[in-house]
Structure 1
């Protein structure tokens, strides 16, 4: 696989989130589109191109499908519809923050609400539709964490064993010495010699270029693909203790999964989960320059299918009357993490925690989430019997709108409980 020799990577400059449809802006419209309206690997992260890019991953990168199998689609029922548009959000002391303003401020592409297994609200913006596959980014980590825990409970993986036990090539390195559980809980401490040290809250540009997710430019001479990236890991401080969010931890878990199960991640997710959910569509997985699925952030899927996965997790591994994932796997995930070590990292938030690749809010709904860059979220609120899927194009990589997002979801859950 060759790297395009184009321009150096462009990150998204700060811009106001909006609901403009790429097609209305002329992005990738025409045969061919005008040069100034074309999206390429070199400019996909530029302002105005993000929304199209997130809905068209397979037009930009090599991908592999996660098969839904040959079983019949399991349709969602339609519950009593909730007027989400009319709900005022209690946020920052303002009890009348309009939901419509939330959509624009958070750059929402899709919002889907499931209550007690039925869809009570479903809205798509711009070019997004019910059948559009949208990038999940780090929501992918929730799938990886679930699969690792599943293999732990099957006795295939020891959560207290070092990663090097399963990937001997990395024995004696920082990543190889981290335990599986430390990787799961983001308590492994390392850097990559191939890139500058990671700056919390910022996009890892060098990492993404090495994957092939953004163009590294004609002079790029670093690692190509996740296996080469992981091999460059270096020690920083002892593992354990403080929370430290890094894609490398999840990509290491992906390597452990492949080695242990003897399958690629697309096959593993397809065989164990996707083919049993009655999904409407195949999902897709971004493939790096080495031909490997990006465990830390490569999935794309429809909102309804992500909601099926979320409803299965909410119901302790059961969906449509079938126990797809053992309930003990979900029970371990829902134990949540150590709140005392969570504060301080820019990726954290007050009162939260992190465990097994999932984020926990410790709120009135016992809610937890899979959380992805640019505002992708799968929010599960067990005590409210609610699952919310949000796809977004929020160009702010710092996650500054997270308090507003959480307030919006909690507002919806309270309305459903009333």
Structure 2
């Protein structure tokens, strides 16, 4: 019997030692599994450092603020809409001046709010800058030219343009509500310090040739990050800071969620203030120019926000990591992320609307259209 107790004690010590050794990973895994819970989601979205490893994005000094304008009158059902969509922050800009700014559900102006897939539009902008600098030869280059680890993966044969347009044919389950979906497996890899590059290279299944049709596949954007890192030999965090956020200006301490190897989660891990998201909107309202500086090449700002992907008729349209509604007038574009994150841009009316939210009903039919119609009503009030 003595030997039995010794084994039990030994096992307990081993398990305890493993728990201590893996404490950080286990805490992150728990944080990921409760990231979207009703009682925590608002706070979590302002405190992503508590759930994931992160990397600072270098910016210098405080940005010159956007000027203030007269407070605008908002639609009569504005408060109802805020509650329905669990909005946490809104910044409305008209002709370059802030005409409405408010924070809700206990959030503050200096909160670094998670972008989710709005980050894709930032990476697209960075891609255009670096292509203009000659780091990328052609959008029709295969991604394996710059990211050779993707050879023999599902991305072997896909061009950079295919990936920008999300027309790779790669099979990837984007269902956030399915614990075993690819998008949720990816989240657990992040939490446990795994490799996003390895995850992307491990995808092997396609169900249509690259370039044939559009399908929203978030991991495509990670592949764009692999291309930029391979072309420049630098991290995306440093590249985004130097070429986009520093000249554009950013508040506080912008940062990316990263994997265990310090690689930025470029498809959704960007954390900025809502004021900063509004600055990005102004940059693209003015076709890549901000406060007198041409930051993103004008031709890229226009090309990337023009519908070009082979989307289904009657559905939302897509450019290079930017959205356009099916009935969008010229110059109306949107960056959007899950749980109600939006940068709405209407060049014709001079309107930019940046919204952060914690909308757990974002998957319900009509949620994006609900936001779009509110944005259009605001833009029409000019």
TM-score (norm 2): 0.86
Matched with 1:358 is 322
| Bigger Rg, structure 1 or 2 | 2
Alpha-carbon distance, 1:64 to partner: 1.4
Aligned 8 A contact 1:366 1:382 in 2: yes
* SS of residue matched to 1:73: coil
Report the Cα distance in structure 1 between the residues aligned to 2:154 and 2:53, rounded to whole angstroms: 30
Which residue in 2 is equivalent to 1:267?
238
Q: Which residue of 2 aligns with 1:159?
A: 139
Q: What does residue 414 of structure 1 align with?
A: 380
How far 1:308 moved relative to its partner?
A: 1.1
Deviations 1:190-231 (A, max 9, x none): 23xxxxx5155756211211122xx7xxxxxxx922011012
Partner of 2:68: 78
CA positional deviation for 1:397: 4.9
Say if 2:22 is the partner of 1:5. no
1:11-410 correspondence to structure 2 within 5 Å: 40-70=31-61, 72-84=62-74, 87-88=75-76, 98-157=77-136, 158-191=138-171, 198-199=173-174, 204-212=183-191, 224-236=194-206, 237-338=208-309, 341-343=310-312, 350-361=314-325, 362-364=327-329, 366-398=331-363, 400=365, 401-410=367-376
Task: Flag structure 2 segments of 5+ consecutive residues without an equivalent.
Answer: 1-20
Return the alpha-carbon distance in structure 2 between the equivalents of residues 321 and 224 of structure 1: 42
Deviation of 1:277 after TM superposition, in Å, equals: 1.9
- Which secondary structure state, in structure 2, belongs to the residue aligned with residue 273 of structure 1? helix
Query: Cα deviations across residues 55-74 of structure 1 (Å, max 9, x unaligned)?
Result: 1112222211112213x521
| Structure 1: distance between partners of 2:97 and 2:255 | 25
Please state how far the C-alpha of 1:133 moved relative to its aligned partner. Answer: 0.7
User: How many angstroms does 1:355 deviate by?
Assistant: 1.0
Q: TM-score, normalised by structure 1?
A: 0.79
What stretches of structure 1 of length at least 5 have no aligned partner? 10-39, 89-97, 192-196, 216-222, 345-349
Aligned CA distance change for structure 1 residues 7 and 59 (closer, same or farther; 3 Å) = closer
Are the aligned partners of 1:164 and 1:172 in contact in 2 as well (CA < 8 Å)? Answer: no
Could you give the per-residue CA deviations for residues 292-342 of structure 1, whole angstroms, max 9, x where no partner exists? Answer: 11010110110111111210111111111112222122121132224xx32
Give the match's secondary structure for 1:140. Answer: helix
1:331 is paired with a residue whose SS is helix
SS in 1 for 2:55: strand
Aligned CA distance change for structure 1 residues 79 and 327 (closer, same or farther; 3 Å): same
